[in-house]
Structure 1
């Protein structure tokens, strides 16, 4: 693939050469002559390069010629970069010394490099006549000289010298760079996929050994500190340090004046960027997403005029870190989050930031410590935003008007009492996502219903908001409100009481997901014709009456309704297409509605933390599509109806946890022919399992934990339960023995027993289970004694098992058991 890009590579060299010739520096007569010759040679080569690239797959000689050209082009690019670097650094002293011929060695060395490159390209251009290209090229050597011997055969060292791109893959056993790679001194790309573990010696060897690198990938290498020698990689364009443990970067990184991309994504420990970053004039992408400890920007970041990617900007109180610095970053695009807007000291800085002229797709305007507080788990409601006394926050946000190309907008901790006028204008016509987080003083919303492409709306922490009225939907003459909205999240709005319908207009026609959390005074809501997912948490029970009017739900979550006495019958009757139903943390709920039997499409049913619930409706037998049933923390549950099990022919997973009044399971469980996973945990009064347990013909895992009254598994035959693969019994103090039918479980791979002090021996047939791979026995004193290696009475039953764990510290493996 490298051969086909020679033509574009030559074009880059042309541009660099032209740029260098146009500089103000006087290179001296000898240098000028060489560059003039070089400018004459390159067009000759470029005239035939396209045809050569077409012929290389069929003509071996052309392919070899292109390879030589590519190597020469690489070296030419290196040399031009070296000269350009001196120009960019304005290293006048160096040039002056060169031109004055005082350090003759440096002068002639640089001149010889230029001349050598020119001669190589002359040789390559002379060979063009051998290939009869369609483009007629007449080339005469500008001066006589011996042509170097070239040929198709090179030794290994020559291959390494010519290597330009390398990827090193390793592991924790050999986290080093192969010594053989040290011969590739002109590497341009190096990807390290190995754990350096903060090996600064290895890093230094990279930085000093591969001076020509353009691309260096150290992402996820365990780097904590970078040596200062990284500043020597003066040709570097792309540096990936993502997902490392770096806290600070050396100031020498600012010497990488050709650097275009610096990737620090997921460097969670990074606390500051180096001083002098304004020297990185070529930088286009500064990727600092998820660097949440980074609380300030380097001074004068605005001087990085070519910058296109800057995930967030932290406003400081001094001019070098102020919002004014965004003015010169005219090419910013993609995502931008402006943090700590309370630090703005002058309103006009916001206007100078020029957000309207930046083609941003996502913009976040944030006040306060949103990220740090979230990380520490503190409630954001306690924040007090103190803005500079000379700043009127409503005027400030008006000047932060974005470009109409914006598709995502978020306001966080906005301390003003009014939203900006541009939120009601055509400015947001392309908006698809909007988040209003903790705008606590705003008691009215903009006309969000008029945003034609809005798909996701998230509103949280709006303390003074009382109603969703006509202003929320917008003018009646502008068509249907919220024509594209698909997802609406409403959270922590304690004052919200009224949610009006949109008069005669049909609104929310595309809404399919609605989440309402902690809105305790909201009594009702409109009917949403296309709603599929409804989640209600910490809300008033009256809102379920409005929910009962929905007829298109596929998923319903009812959580933390402390005063809910019953679930409206119509809620389940009108939504017979429900696929998932979760009812949790409803402590006053004593029964489930009989209409539950209508949910023939239901696949998941979860009932949790309903203390007064004592039984399930008999109509559960109609839930023929049910695949997962979870019953958690229902201490009042006495039994499951026998007949309810008969129709659950699709049930694959059954989990019963913390149901302390449950003494037995129904014999009707024999009808659960599709059941694959059965888990019973913390049922303190469960004394027995049904005799039908061995008839569960699809059962693969059986987990029993903390059932102290359970004595044993049911006896009987296992003509149907041969599919069992995993058996776990833990903390069952009175459990006495495993049944003999366990010897018939030919597919059993794992047995784990712990905290069962009454088990005294293992079944004799255990030694015939050839598929058994793992056995763990802990906190069972007598059984542990019988399973001692070599000497225990039951050792012969388990010696064939590859992995045996006896006690908390002893690990036995098959390999040492057979020695």
Structure 2
């Protein structure tokens, strides 16, 4: 339930109250003391929220109390956000407005005195509501817990036995693990650790059981021990479990001499002595199943105690966390990242649980439906077992169709089924990651996410807390994504270097996101779906679903479907939903937007990408001083940008396609918060970023398909980190004066389809201690790489694609100390010259960790 996210909401709200902008506005309005009292009250509420979230299911009244708190929090956020909106609007008027405009404002509804009275009244009302819910907390007897360090109940303990018929589709994985167990590590002083990592329900434990019981290991390992670790990695508890496992295992020479001994009352020193005596000199295999511990100190302490076995002893670990797998593994460790089953093996698992042996042949119609159910399970054995078991001995076609058409979360679930298995990973997430994860529920399955889009989504929806000192929002968002990937929530994670990555969600993980976010986030896919009364974030899949039912006025997020063209619905939305933070109209068929769009003063994100029929934007759009992102990419019919775009002083991402011949220089100069600037399909532009503009916060510049663009004075963007220039046939990348090249901080540079480019520009040398990724693609006239390329001491990845005139790499390419990834595609001479093992210059690049060639 979304109530489980309230702790994170409370943290975010307290952060907002403590911000400089809110504090300054509250002093101006005379409500500073009121906000401090609210902050103190919220802290009292927050202190019991974790206990309330855990115990709410036993108390209906407590659940209702949490719902009240949620409503108060969101109403309070709207009021506080209004402070910031007014402060930004006041700044624009004071710096840009005429005297006539200022006089007009004094006699309007936005008069400062009128506004102050209104805000004082609203703050007092919010304070009263917080006071009431804070007082109500006392009747529930809740425990105080002000930090999110809860111990989450893990799954039931496992055992080592497995029926061979239960292990389907893992023959190859099993053999890989056995080979690693039998492999001589070559280091007699190191205990070899082999982790198996993957999402819950993937079959890590079943695979480990199959390995553990394989007879081919009996001669190698005189002692085999199975320990289910689960949530208790305390040293005493683990020593007891390992000792008991060793006692049960015994040895080939007879029963264990201390078999049946009772270790429970022994102290830690006695236990470690017993264990070391028990395993000393023996070649053992220890399985540590279901490890959640992330404390390296605890692991090293245990490892040191068991590192007394004979040379060749091994530890097999199963975990859901990549970071735990890396922590426990040695430098030479093999890590098996377990994948889903193949479609054929998935069907076999499903049949095993849905039918008695051989009976599936009697039900061809059920088998046809069963194959569709199998596809939904995404190769997860536990999901296949859950859905198959729910249909066992059922032969009614309608029942099978119901399972096929239902989300797996709506199926009856036992404690060891797929819902508890996957949700367990979610339950143990810290509150800040839970809030981030729920945002994925707004997108369709198999959607490809980028970290830049995710970062903006998280920031707009208020789930991205302010970064620590020295960190950027981008860096913080990537760190959060890496943590979600480490916990197996993300898949197909591709890191392009330079702080750019893409990823997807497994279908069942997406279903989990929808399930846990269902009270606040809603993805509308069918005509018979009702929009929830208090939903805050709404996404439509199909165009004909718009306007079916009215949307709640408190809506904060609205994602339109492709080809949306319902003008009346859009106009109503802009007029009624005044608290919208995010509005996505990508791939729409609107020719213009209503003027009322300018009333959405809370709007942070407006996406009109690929709205190919959009011809104009209302000037009222420039009243949106809170806007962080404006995406006009691919709006090929847009005549001009709206007048006054420089008033969007909070803008951080601006992506434009326009038919203009010049961009408004003075207006763009005002966008001092701009961090990302994309210019695409602007065929009439000849120059970009005029002299006199200084966009010191700009980090990313992307220029694509600007056919007449000739010049780009890069010196006006000194702090640029990512530069992408593609398909600009007239563009030259040289400075007018190469003797006055500024210092750059580029981390990633991509040059693509630039026929004017014959060599790498000299100014790239100024990025020697920052550039991490360099990609040169489809540059048909480039014929050499400079010798000074070896000065790029931070270069980690070099990609060269379809550069036919490029005949060689620099002779001293082996002097690039951090180059680990070299990719050469469709460069015939380079492929011949540097081909692995056979090219005459292969020895110059053979030291590089990853080299990839592909030539037509």
Instruction: Name the TM-score class by shorter chain.
Output: 0.3 to 0.5
TM-score normalised by L of structure 1: 0.46
Greater per-residue helix proportion? 2
Larger radius of gyration: 1
TM-score normalised by L of structure 2: 0.44
Bigger relative contact order (CA 8 A; separation at least 6): 2
